A and B are shown apart, each in its own frame.
Chain A
């Protein structure tokens, strides 16, 4: 079939599914791109001819959202995550490294095999830096590993897919239960392979156990996890497990039915210590029942509300969710509570919006409740775009029923007629889990007409965001659902008064909705008891960066930074010292180590120039450059600004220019004053939250780390992070092994066997490979003389 015919067929089919209205533009384009990996011009022309979508609208949208491409890409897409956690661990060097290795100048390499893309955040912050090639994720990537990764990827590609078909299930007595985490972090770290291997092992050995897929446990730095539950035995938890270790572990706990395997298992048992000692780093075994273990430290200080039953709940098992109290709150609402009562409970609980601003949830609900309208919308905001934050993703993936229940309760309380889950497309697992969960709920009578016989109707749908951070802002989110560029508009009018399609619209963050069933079930007072004066309940944080135990944590409001970093996170690894914690991502600020006892809540963060944001918490050590961090966040907001209002569009850019200049050592003292002026101007003048908060990373670092700015102006980056201000140098401890010279991509190091090597600075691209590969640590980074 020729391509023209193919485009027509594909576009016709997509239009038949989505309709021809102009507001369907985003899902329609997503579907077309799904087909071709880009948006072929011929298909676009045909689409405009066949639908209400105009060329102006289409091109405006397709160039606004990062997801869309107008040009074909390489066969495989290498996505280098440049989220905060990855950034502080060298993501840009990795990105440059891939481009260099593949000799890519433009979009794709010469063979059209690979395209290298930066991606805002894959949400796998705990195994940073992360690179995703097609659907295979590599964690802990460094520049020196790039050739290895490409080779590994191509090897996997060249092998036929190993199809594993499980044998027919026979109902026998189960020996126990194996739980495996299938959150995105887990999958990124190889839990899918572990799962395949697990099923294979169980099948070939005829071991009868239940395999249960649970949501994110939160111990994301230790994934993949395997938890073994046996009646009458302690729970055994295996962390960082590799596929090739699965069979050993399983056979250690369960007796195979085939006698030969049983024999082998005994043999393995004998050599257990030997086996584990040889892989000490990857297969540390923890017992969660034991005190004083890293895992218990990690979990014990947390309170699970939004993440209740973590590691227990199977994400899509409705029966289990109900057994554990799920939908009890909603049932109570529709059977015995008046909407006004529910709103009062939420008001009494003190629940504030978890999306960043901390606006009291009940006030929004009340406005909506009072609004007179035939149609009212409720939207769950899952457009989590902060680099370094993955709370919403984890909640949507692991507790889809809880979020749906929260949405239903809110919808019932305010009289909503239609519900929408707005989830960013970068979270495919979250999207599919929610879709499946909605289908299950619809079947069970929780969604649709006359829910549970109460007369309450609510239809719920999913809208996939197309890659624009600014769409987390309510008015921009609404614009994108309406098929427009995601440009915020002035508030008031607030969406609660005039929102989607001009109708009253309640927009709540995912985590906010996740707290709702708990509050209704346990009572407002129980929630109010937790937290601080003005910040009630718990907050979910994504703890990442330079921390021993990163992951997803839920802690009571008011917990100090010290408790989080030291007690839960296990402090700073590699003998480094704690320098600062960045809270709130691009809207937040850097809080210095000197304020480590600051209790974290909405007000305290505001006072010190940070912000709760959506809850990214990136820990930095003494090797992190604070000017670079400010520049990093600003380059993010500058890129993500919708480009509408002057202060944000131009203000963020000119601030970034000043920071670039300072990082190049070309700054002047006067620049700091202008930078501060611009930051204040952008903050007070910008139209929406993105611009109003974008200067925070700059202002907070200027406030707490001004001397570091001055050092840069004087030509020195004290941490050696700013490439233009550092040089690589080889000490006389060099043994002349030539490895650095062999691996140097630009021949900046001449081969000199058995002699001290030298780096020619003029040729050096500062990729860091020499330092990584040197067997005697003779390569150092130092400021220019």
Chain B
């Protein structure tokens, strides 16, 4: 037996054990990408670096044999930096988007490519649910959204953008056909109550997400009808009033109380509302700005009155959102902020410290070059944007929606949820541009294989697929080709990947730490992590 210490904890392991295995035995987590138990230690990604206090040297723990008396550190500034730099180097040579540009461009962060995939499959209800996960009022926004997503849609670089907004409207109208509203499941009911002043897009959205969290919510509005700016504001697209009413009705069905025709003064906020409710959200729009002046100390600026981290005012438990906070030109931005503040209120009510809503690490590579356009079009219908036969106000019929959604090029990564590179880049706060000094490589998608798609520019050269595919003597498998920076995993003699991997294909995809090898069918990649 060999006895060593890892992070000051003593562990005994048999001879031939690596430091990584010893650490795992202790329950000490060390990140790995190229390592897979049962396969050769290739020590190529070097993410599993640890420090040997005996000689001060950094070594990859996956290949470092444990030896007697070793004193290993798995977490200190030096180790952290080395891992971060390894990630940044890998990212400097990684061409691919994690999330599609449309989703990144959507203030509400709707998973648009997946919505499109579901529509293409004719699964409109699941598509609606997915929209609703991020967007409280799909029907309203489907009508009036400024659709910043369409402005960054890569399809625009080919011909015209995918009509994302119309597709959202379509699934919302499909949902509306149901006799019962399709509402999300609520979390456990909570005893706390929240008052929301103002029933514009921010207020309604916050109400929806707080209801979803299990709180009881009262929406107060000075007007006799809910909707705030949605009722009055001039927009480039038409919002039929029955649409707004239907959406408000849905919210009522979900459990919101409305107190209309009720004017709230600044005094009432600090007394009445503060006393009766556990939290208050002010979302009374731009014209209610006077209230803020009254609430804050005269010497105070608005900036110092509001904590930008969680939109809480200096008055504890009183939050702010929508145009009252900052003029919102786009309804969807007000909606996004409504969701953000709902989560902040939730954290406040749960006694958690304020935290800025943070999106996960995201790789993005910019515009497509001509070669890449062809690669991207491999996954999309080639025809131009479809105009709804019954006009843009009424929007698509089912067949039209299916056809239009098929134009989506699916710019999102197939392993967006379980790519190790992304997960660790997020954990180590890696900066993808830190070591980026060269023109990026051109992205390629090899799609000749029945089940699997190969994107070499996402490969980190761990070679696990080479070893795994080599176990099947009946197919030629994969091999490392070339040397140095230009090493690439390829099929021997540049043949097609179609017949290169057969029965080992699934194992290769599972082992691949990134989306270099993934199942064509995006959802299948989620089966493992």
Name which residue of chain B comes closest to A485, CB basis.
B480
CB atoms of A651 and B478 under 8 A apart: no
CB atoms of B482 and A489 under 8 A apart: no
CB-CB contacts below 8 Å: B439-469 with A: 460-461, 466, 469
Stretch from B272-280, B368-376, B486-494 at the A interface = B486-494
Stretch from B39-47, B195-203, B312-320 at the A interface = B39-47
CB atoms of B484 and A642 under 8 A apart: yes
Name which residue of chain A comes closest to B56, CB basis.
A684
| A160 within 8 Å of B (CB atoms) | no
Q: How large is the interface on B (under 10, 10 to 19, 20 to 34, 35 or more residues)?
A: 35 or more
CB atoms of A649 and B476 under 8 A apart: no
| B90 within 8 Å of A (CB atoms) | yes
Known contacts A56-B477, A647-B86; is A490 also within 8 Å of B41 by CB?
yes
CB atoms of A642 and B60 under 8 A apart: no
CB atoms of A687 and B46 under 8 A apart: yes
List residues of chain B with CB within 8 A of the CB of A678.
435
| A76 within 8 Å of B (CB atoms) | no
CB atoms of B82 and A643 under 8 A apart: no
Write the nearest CB–CB distance from B74 to chain A, whole angstroms.
16
| A398 within 8 Å of B (CB atoms) | no
Known contacts A644-B44, A645-B43, A681-B85; is A654 also within 8 Å of B483 by CB?
no
| A58 within 8 Å of B (CB atoms) | yes
Write the nearest CB–CB distance from B30 to chain A, whole angstroms.
15
Q: Count residues of chain A with CB under 8 A from any CB of chain B.
A: 43
CB atoms of B484 and A641 under 8 A apart: yes
CB atoms of A63 and B90 under 8 A apart: no
Q: Choose among B41, B438, B484 the residue that contacts A640 (Cβ–Cβ < 8 A).
A: B484
| B470 within 8 Å of A (CB atoms) | yes
Interface of A is mostly: helix
0 or 1 for each of A256-296: is its CB under 8 Å from B? (1 = yes): 00000000000000000000000000000000000000000
Name which residue of chain B comes closest to A675, CB basis.
B437
CB atoms of A643 and B43 under 8 A apart: no
Known contacts A641-B484, A643-B484, A661-B437; is A650 also within 8 Å of B90 by CB?
yes
Known contacts A41-B493, A685-B58, A687-B43; is A64 also within 8 Å of B482 by CB?
yes
List residues of chain A with CB within 8 A of the CB of B477.
54-56
CB atoms of A649 and B492 under 8 A apart: no
CB atoms of A685 and B46 under 8 A apart: yes
| A493 within 8 Å of B (CB atoms) | yes
CB atoms of B480 and A651 under 8 A apart: no
0 or 1 for each of B477-513: is its CB under 8 Å from A? (1 = yes): 1111111111100101100000000000000000000
CB atoms of A649 and B482 under 8 A apart: no
List residues of chain A with CB within 8 A of the CB of B86.
646-647, 685
CB atoms of B493 and A55 under 8 A apart: yes
List residues of chain A with CB within 8 A of the CB of B292.
none
CB atoms of B92 and A63 under 8 A apart: no
| A370 within 8 Å of B (CB atoms) | no
Q: Choose among B64, B90, B434, B481 the residue that contacts A646 (Cβ–Cβ < 8 A).
A: B90
CB atoms of B483 and A653 under 8 A apart: no
In the complex the two chains form, what is the Cα distance from A56 to B500 in whole Å?
10
0 or 1 for each of B30-59: is its CB under 8 Å from A? (1 = yes): 000000000001111111010000000011
List residues of chain B with CB within 8 A of the CB of A658.
437
List residues of chain A with CB within 8 A of the CB of B92.
650, 654
| B63 within 8 Å of A (CB atoms) | yes
Name which residue of chain A comes closest to B86, CB basis.
A646
| A112 within 8 Å of B (CB atoms) | no
List residues of chain A with CB within 8 A of the CB of B64.
490
| A468 within 8 Å of B (CB atoms) | yes
CB atoms of A490 and B63 under 8 A apart: yes
| B412 within 8 Å of A (CB atoms) | no
Write the nearest CB–CB distance from B187 to chain A, whole angstroms.
42
CB atoms of A63 and B481 under 8 A apart: yes
Name which residue of chain B comes closest to A640, CB basis.
B484
In the complex the two chains form, what is the Cα distance from A63 to B488 in whole Å?
10
Known contacts A644-B44, A647-B46, A650-B435; is A685 also within 8 Å of B480 by CB?
no
Q: Choose among A489, A647, A654, A687 the residue that contacts B437 (Cβ–Cβ < 8 A).
A: A654
What are 20 pairs between A and B in contact, CB < 8 Å?
Answer: A54-B470, A55-B476, A56-B478, A57-B479, A59-B479, A59-B490, A60-B479, A493-B65, A639-B484, A640-B483, A644-B44, A646-B44, A647-B86, A649-B484, A650-B485, A653-B484, A657-B438, A674-B437, A685-B82, A685-B85
Residues of B within 8 A of A (CB): 41-47, 49, 58-60, 63-65, 82, 85-86, 89-90, 92-93, 434-438, 460-461, 466, 469-470, 476-487, 490, 492-493
Closest 10 CB pairs of A and B: A643-B487, A55-B492, A490-B63, A657-B437, A56-B479, A59-B492, A650-B89, A653-B485, A60-B479, A641-B484
